[in-house]
Amino acid sequence: MEGPPAMTGTPDLLYSDVETDLRASVRDLLTDHGDPAALLARVESGEPYDLKLWRTLAGDLGAAGLLVPESLGGQGASARETALVLEELGRGLAPVPFLGSAVLATCALLHTDTTQQPVAELLGRLASGAAIGCLAVPLSAMPGTGFPTGVRATAEGRLTGRIGTVADATVAETLVVPAAGPDGAGLYLVETRAAGVTVAEAVPLDLTRRLADVTLEDAPARRVAGQDTAAAAVRAALLAGAALLASEQLGLAQWCLDETVAYVKQRYQFGRPVGSFQAVKHRLAEVYLHLVSARAAARAAADTLARDDTDLPVTAAVAQAYCAPAAVHAAEECIQLHGGIGMTWEHPAHLYLKRAKADELALGTPAKHRRILAGLVDLPG
Amino acid sequence: MSTVDSEGDAEDLRSRVREFLREHDHTVMEPLDFLRARFDAGLAWVHFPAGLGGIGAPRAAQAVVDAEFEAAGAPDNNPRRIGIGLGMAAPTILQFGTEEQQRRFLRPLWTGEEVWCQLFSEPGAGSDLAALGTRAVRDGSDWVVEGQKVWTSGAHVARWAILVTRTDPEVPKHQGMTYFVCDMTAPGVEVRPLRQITGEAEFNEVFLNGVRIPDAQRLGEIGDGWRVAQATLMNERVAIGGRPTPREGGMVGVVAQTWRERPELRTPELHDRLLRLWVEAEAARLAGDRLRQQLAVGRPGPEGSAMKLAFARLSQELSALEVELLGEEGLRYDDWTLRRPDLVDFTGREAGYRYLRAKGNSIEGGTSEVLRNIIAERVLGLPTEPRADKDVAWKDLPR
Ligand SMILES: Cc1cc2nc3c(=O)[nH]c(=O)nc-3n(C[C@H](O)[C@H](O)[C@H](O)COP(=O)(O)OP(=O)(O)OC[C@H]3O[C@@H](n4cnc5c(N)ncnc54)[C@H](O)[C@@H]3O)c2cc1C
């Protein structure tokens, strides 16, 4: 009998001083950029993303280029700092294309040959925030479930096919498209302005992360990875995405807890603060308990990703299987314990529930991650 | 990650242990002599002061020292058997004891020569410890104690006890308590096995009939027993930090192993439950690591209570799953004999025992409900429970 793989080293689960400073900067910026009411108005407007905020995040804080080496125009930081930014973005539900551009597209490109001029150039532009990219896979795509084959490429590099629910595609200039070519799997760059490319906005469950259905009809493309690297690049991007998404879920859950605690302290019923009733206190203690474990799981995934540790598939699956339901639970409790107000459109709680639920489906559901884990830790069904 | 201030400090500690091991060959020495020498060298609990088993090192240094002794195959003091002494009596004696008390009690406590138990709970005072009624009345240089304690783990093997009593019934319940060290061999101490859900008697009823305790065995001031007891309970919660566990350490490993060895028992429904619990156990294990890392850099967090809650739930759900997984075998029980074990051994028994014993995990050391209150009030800052008993003299409380 085999048993689970041992961890290769105890991950560093704390926040470094640099990370703590970064958190403060990101939080300040998000606070300056508007309150939940402004967020609500924005998501229903014609400009659901705050691209001004995005440029400030990318330009002033270098947030978009944390994963990109300095030689390619990025910050040369690591997945740990990236996770921290995601925590804050999750907490503020910032309407910016960070996951699609700075995580998924960037990670995929970093796993191709980055000495290629178009790759190097695009990575530089993504890192600085000058361009927005996205990885053209459904947001529900799961690491480790094979290369997507919905798009076909000709030998000349023209793509045809359709990909549904692509996150952040509505604001992307460049799509990183996995496609099956005559020589097998490939990764292609497609400009969204090009002829034959249609990006049709879908009505998303999560109003703060936009989705689009992408249709390619003989669209011109440039191949940047072939058979030997394309599948690995997509897999690595999805794995990194799953590992990092846990931090977004953690930040989101933390907001839900903080907001609910504050509310039940000042809301009076039966002559007492609602938060003095034990049934309410115990439910919030339970949310807190989940957060304690979620933080450890999210930090472990970020740290193993940063160290390129072979344990990453396990820590990423654990983080997703744990943090996704923890965030949904926190958001559901937030709505319930706010009572009627929680059910209104004006109160931001619903935006958090929508993000939490969509995040639960994103990059593999908890159940799918448990299945993956079963194989990784030798607990076959 | 390094667990002490610097790798250099850790290396100093390691060489200190190696030097000790060169001078004290554990392969020829009596284990007890070896442990006494280790205490005298300050390598027992290294964060204690010199002369009391330590060298005043940071708390995190302990892990480095323990690992070094373990690697050498040196005898240990069976910390599980003396858990109450190590985790609760020792830190309380260190904080509140006189120098004379510290010198008398700490060494045999650490070596395991003397086992300790905790005489806190009473039939009428469990969660509400401050309601306790065991009386201690001053008589010259002694105190005379009358009362009954209950659910006292290990009282049948204990040489000493930490004891909280009521010395003034006229004041509200949190005042008027006094804390003592009680000699379990003193006349008037009667320990009766209390058979529990598992069939064995790991805990006891303890009757205190006119037990004389010298005033020199008082810990802390007269009437200050609640504060001393609070310190003890605080330490109980810190103690869960303990040692790092490997992945699948503990109950989850037991169930996972059964799963691997018995493919014929597997069903899809149990598979998903097992995986859910595996994920929870791994996340909780990492949270324990994180708590220790926080302690190691001197930033202890309030996560300890959450960890105890998580542990209780996990051990209950996993042990329940194990019984179900075993199917027909789960109908059998290994042994209902009334035994009086000197420590709880989850792995030395079968699934049914684990299932039943785990029920205590959400009761002992503070119930899960009380822990949720603590988290809600002290961590989340929610309003405290309305208190009907705050300004009422203890003797006038309804009971
Ligand atoms: C295996 C085991 C070993 C033990 N070992 C020792 C020992 O060595 N020494 C010792 O002194 N004690 C020991 N105890 C006793 C233990 O500390 C108490 O059982 C515990 O504190 C609970 O007290 P109680 O049993 O009186 O329950 P009660 O306090 O009567 O509680 C009954 C129920 O009411 C709930 N409840 C109580 N107060 C509240 C509240 N404010 N809000 C919400 N719910 C509440 C409880 O959670 C519980 O569900 C042991 C217990 C067990 C099970």
Tell me the pLDDT tens digit for each residue of B343-371.
888 888 999 999 999 999 999 989 999 99
- Of the candidates B276, B382, B383, which has its C-beta nearest A370's C-beta? B276
Question: Which of the 8 DSSP states describes residue A143?
Answer: T
Q: Which of A140-149, A342-351, B148-157, B223-232 has the lowest mean pLDDT?
A: A140-149
If we measure between CA atoms, which residue out of A38, A36, A47 comes closest to residue A210?
A47
Q: Are B254 and A263 in contact (CB under 8 A)?
A: no
Residue A8 has pLDDT above 80, yes or no: no
Residue B210 has pLDDT above 80, yes or no: yes
CA of B116 to the centre of ligand 1 (A): 20
Segment B60-70 shows an average pLDDT of 88
Residue nearest to atom 3 of ligand 1 (CA): B364
Average pLDDT, chain B: 93
- Inter-axis angle of helices A349-361 and A227-266, nearest 10: 150
Provide the shortest C-alpha distance from residue B311 to chain A (in Å): 11
pLDDT at A303: 98
Provide the shortest C-alpha distance from residue B226 to chain A (in Å): 24
Which amino acid does the sequence have at B208? L
Q: Backbone phi, then psi, for A313, in 5-degree steps? A: -55, -35
pLDDT at B1: 37
Residue A178 has pLDDT above 50, yes or no: yes
Please state, in angstroms and rounded to a whole number, the distance separating the CA atoms of residues A140 and A362.
Answer: 4
Q: Are A145 and A107 in contact (CB under 8 A)?
A: no
Give the model confidence (pLDDT) of A97-130 as tens digits: 999 999 999 999 999 999 999 999 999 999 999 9
- Of the candidates A276, A289, A299, which has its C-beta nearest B290's C-beta? A299
Segment B244-259 shows an average pLDDT of 93
Residue B250 has pLDDT above 80, yes or no: yes
Q: Are B171 and B155 in contact (CB under 8 A)?
A: no
**B327: alpha, beta or left, given left = phi > 0 and alpha = psi -120 to 50?**
left
Residue of B nearest to A318 (CA): B279
pLDDT at B99: 96
Segment A292-318 shows an average pLDDT of 97
Segment A260-275 shows an average pLDDT of 97
Segment B86-107 shows an average pLDDT of 96
Query: Which of B81, B120, B121 for mutating ligand 1's site (highest number of atoms within 8 Å of CB)?
Result: B121
pLDDT at A262: 98
- Of the candidates A265, A322, A379, which has its C-beta nearest B383's C-beta? A265
pLDDT at B345: 82
Q: Which atom of ligand 1 is nearest to the CA of B119?
A: 11
pLDDT at B177: 98
Q: Residue B27 — pLDDT band, cuts 50, 70, 90?
A: very high
Using an 8 Å CB-CB cutoff, list chain A residues near B382. Answer: 261, 264-265, 273, 275-276, 280-281, 284
Q: Residue A120 half-sphere exposure, CB side, CA atoms within 13 Å?
A: 8
Q: At B348, list the tokens.
A: 């030395």
pLDDT at A1: 46
Residue B278 has pLDDT above 70, yes or no: yes
Please state, in angstroms and rounded to a whole number, the distance separating the CA atoms of residues A26 and A165.
Answer: 28
CB pairs under 8 A between A and B: 150
If we measure between CA atoms, which residue out of A3, A255, A46 comes closest to residue B253?
A3
pLDDT at B2: 38
Please state, in angstroms and rounded to a whole number, the distance separating the CA atoms of residues A245 and A247.
Answer: 5
Q: Residue B241 — pLDDT band, cuts 50, 70, 90?
A: low
Segment B33-55 shows an average pLDDT of 96
pLDDT at B3: 46
Query: What is the ipTM for the molecules in this complex?
Result: 0.93
Residue nearest to atom 12 of ligand 1 (CA): B121
Q: Backbone phi, then psi, for A69, in 5-degree steps? A: -60, 155
Q: Which atom of ligand 1 is nearest to the CA of B125?
A: 26
Residue B4 has pLDDT above 70, yes or no: no
Q: Residue A334 — pLDDT band, cuts 50, 70, 90?
A: very high
Write a three-state SS string for B34-101. HHHHHHHCCCCCCCCCECCCECCCCCCHHHHHHHHHHHCCCCCCCCCCCHHHHHHHHHHHHHHCCHHH
Please state, in angstroms and rounded to a whole number, the distance separating the CA atoms of residues B80 and B62.
Answer: 16
Strand ranges in chain A using DSSP code E only, listed in sequence order:
133-135, 151-153, 158-167, 174-181, 184-191, 197-201, 211-220, 222-225, 268-269, 272-273
Segment B223-245 shows an average pLDDT of 81
Q: Are B189 and B183 in contact (CB under 8 A)?
A: yes
Q: Which of A53-67, A254-268, A329-343, B61-75 has the lowest mean pLDDT?
A: B61-75
Q: What is the pTM (predicted TM-score) of this model?
A: 0.94
Segment A372-378 shows an average pLDDT of 97
Q: Which atom of ligand 1 is nearest to the CA of B120?
A: 11
Residue B239 has pLDDT above 60, yes or no: no
pLDDT at B6: 63
B266 to A381: CB separation less than 8 angstroms, yes or no? yes
Residue nearest to atom 24 of ligand 1 (CA): B126
Q: Which of B68, B122, B202, B236 is catalytic?
A: B236
pLDDT at B238: 63
CA of A38 to the centre of ligand 1 (A): 49
pLDDT at B5: 57
Annotation says B248 is catalytic: no
